[in-house]
């Protein structure tokens, strides 16, 4: 056990990258367009989390991604 600044213990950090989300470039998007892309992003993020959590989390059966 050691302490170094704001990082008290060494723990592995994993980065998982999902598939690209196609987004049409709109110079001035409407709120509905933004909401649509945001919804797609959160759906894909949840799907990625559920598909990869068994590889990286010690208790995947009881771990869930909550997005408010």
- How far does CA 43 lie from the centroid of its chain? 10
- The whole-angstrom separation of Cα 51 and Cα 39 is 18
Task: Give the phi and the psi of residue 55 in degrees, each rounded to 5.
Answer: -85, -25
Domain count, the chain: 1
pLDDT digits (tens, 9 = 90+) for 5-63: 666 667 788 899 999 999 999 999 999 999 999 999 999 999 999 999 999 999 999 99
Containing structural domain, residue 41: 1-68
Whole-prediction pTM value?
0.77
């Amino acid at each position: 056990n050691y302490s170094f600044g704001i990082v008290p213990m060494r723990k592995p950090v994993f980065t998982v990258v999902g598939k690209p989300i196609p987004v049409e470039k709109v110079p001035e998007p409407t709120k509905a367009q933004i909401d649509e892309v945001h919804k797609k992003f959160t759906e894909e993020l949840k799907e990625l989390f559920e598909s990869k959590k068994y590889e990286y989390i010690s208790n995947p059966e009881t771990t869930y991604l909550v997005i408010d």
